[in-house]
Chains A and B, each alone.
Chain A
Amino acid sequence: MPILEVENLSVSFKQYTGLKQKTHKVISSLNVTLEAGEILAVVGASGSGKSLLAHAILGILPRNASICGVIKYAGEELTPDRQTVLRGKEIALVPQSVNFLDPLMRVGSQVRTSVKNGDAVSVQREVFERYHLRQEVEKMYPFQLSGGMARRTLLSTAMVSGAKVIIADEPTPGLDPDVIKEALNNFREVADNGCAVMLITHDIESALNIADKIAVFYAGTTVEVAPVENFKGHGEEIRHPYSKALWRALPQNDFIPIPGSQPHPSSLPAGCLFAPRCVMATPECRQVQPEMRKLRGGMVRCIHAT
């Protein structure tokens, strides 16, 4: 049984332009599952809803957001009450930006408040040592840290929590290659010890090295979930035209950029969201949004995928 299931999730924002109230649907019919012992890498362009998914799972979306769909944790629905109880304890977040540290609190204390079991001080010192943060760093305030040190502090908060599910929202930018490797290996380690990790990242290459599955997001929905092994060669085994294009756009592959840009949530096309940019698009694609379907051991949202 998956430890975390997201079924048909949609997230909308109410916004006022003058007196008129408008709702923007920024995530629509999104499906993702997370198994214990597994790393799921989530990739997709900026604005495709990756951070919002993370925040929706933790129940920390802004007040003007409304969600529908079902999120289940360990088989049971994750209601707001359960989210309040579980977050920080069973589900931990590594936030996307270093602004998530309290500017007036010493970073050591901020890590210690995340420790739920054991002696907070020694657990914090251990994790700092693992991330090569010297002992005097625990006495510092966030403004005294370099970007990389702040990132490692954020990583530490999740690592000490003892959570069963870790959602890491782009945890590695600005880090030295060695530290990136170290951090990713840590994720692999906690996953091998039975945790589930959702690794949101732009860095497809290093994601492929440690992840088990890859979920590709486009314009607020999942277009494909595939085992990492499919990402090789010219992408023949990849199911969805967008994931294929993403793969081929990488510098080490064909380095062909995808023409056009992701639609804004206020002007989503009818039918398949990728249709305006898809080389395989047919008139049928523009009728209704394709359903997510099983294909060759993965999932895809495309009527023509084989």
Chain B
Amino acid sequence: MRKYIGGKLGLFLLLKGLRMATLLFAICLISFLLIKNSPIDPIQAYIGADMLKVGPEQREKIAEYWGVDQPVMVQFLNWGSALLTGDLGTSMIFRRPVIDIIGERFLNSLALMISAWVLSGMIGFAMGVVAAMKKGTWIDRIIKWYCFTLASTPTFWMGLLILIVFAVWLKWFPFGMGVPAGVLAENVTMVDRINHLILPAITLSIVGVANVALHTRQKLIDVLASDYVLFARARGEQGFVLFWRHGLRNVALPAITLQFAAFSELFGGAVLTEQVFSYPGLGQATVEAGLRGDVPLLLGLVIFSTIFVFVGNLLADLSYRLLDPRMREGRRYDFKPQIKK
């Protein structure tokens, strides 16, 4: 029995791995071609403001150095084979290996995204549960109204609003950035970092609750109308016990899956939020790389975000397989009752 399930899971992971490889290849090729055919001039990106001081010969030398004078397909193969050895190239604007920049920025973003992910998941779930249990009352209407309003609120607008209220007017929190300005890196404390994290994390969570809350509300309403809840009531269960025994497990499962599957929205939200708060995460790096034409960094970020979203979806699938007994345990055991004669 166990072995059978293990085998199924292995096959599942293998198939997912294959899918991820083909997806990554396609994404790499497409983004490479897109960037090559875009008006971005990588040499200008490298030279920056000193463009006027650079003569045509120097320009050619630089082009040769970066390999941009070769045919596009050759360039792609060069880049691709370097990629396979784990070399993402060097960022033109930071003049450092792309992998280092992504690693460093990712840690910052991860703190932001994880706190927002957990916060929005728990608050959204609780809101959905309350709305469904009190369906049709004023509290349900407020929660629904809040979620629908949020669903149509742009993230950057929400970020600006929060920044203005809590950082500018109330001065409760620092005004953007990841660490205090003018403090040496070794003097930055954990408290400083957390202080800088709170507003962006709240912005990202506030926007993130709508989806989970509305989904949980609908799901719990369905569960409460189900035959098995009716039967539980017929057996004398009610209120919190009823929710705990039959509601929670039937609602939490899809909510967890949904929350993992929302990694792409989380990443998209982080890009905008980090921009508003000048928070030095992946999102901000993406915007800069795009605006300033840093091709290696941009490609590295595209690959990384693809993996990130893919992993989110994989976790969503896995959570379902591991948590739902209908997926986890085999089909029915069919045997005839033994009748003692």
Task: Please give the residue numbers on chain A whose beta carbons come within 8 Å of chain B beta carbons, in ascending order.
Answer: 58, 60, 84, 87-89, 92-93, 95, 97, 99-105, 113-114, 131-134, 136, 140-141, 143-146, 148-149, 152, 157, 161, 176, 178-179
Contacts and interface: CB of A to CB of B under 8 A. Distances in A.
B56 interface: no
A208 to B, nearest CB: 24
A63 B239 CA distance: 17
B339 A143 contact: no
A258 to B, nearest CB: 31
B231 A144 contact: no
28 contacts: A60-B234, A84-B238, A87-B233, A88-B237, A92-B235, A93-B234, A95-B231, A99-B226, A99-B227, A102-B250, A103-B326, A104-B250, A104-B324, A113-B232, A113-B237, A113-B245, A132-B338, A132-B339, A133-B337, A134-B338, A140-B333, A141-B326, A144-B329, A144-B330, A144-B333, A161-B235, A176-B336, A179-B337
A154 to B, nearest CB: 8
B332 interface: yes
Contacts of B333: 136, 140, 144
Contacts of B340: 132
B134 interface: no
Nearest to A176: B337
B325 interface: yes
A131 B236 CA distance: 24
B231 A104 contact: no
Nearest to B250: A104
Contacts of B233: 60, 87
Contacts of A179: 337, 339
B165 interface: no
Contacts of A100: 227-228, 230-231
A122 B2 CA distance: 28
Given A99-B227, A179-B337, A143 B236 contact: no
A105 B249 contact: yes
Nearest to A84: B238
- Residue of B246, B334, B337 with highest tally of chain A CB at under 10 A: B337
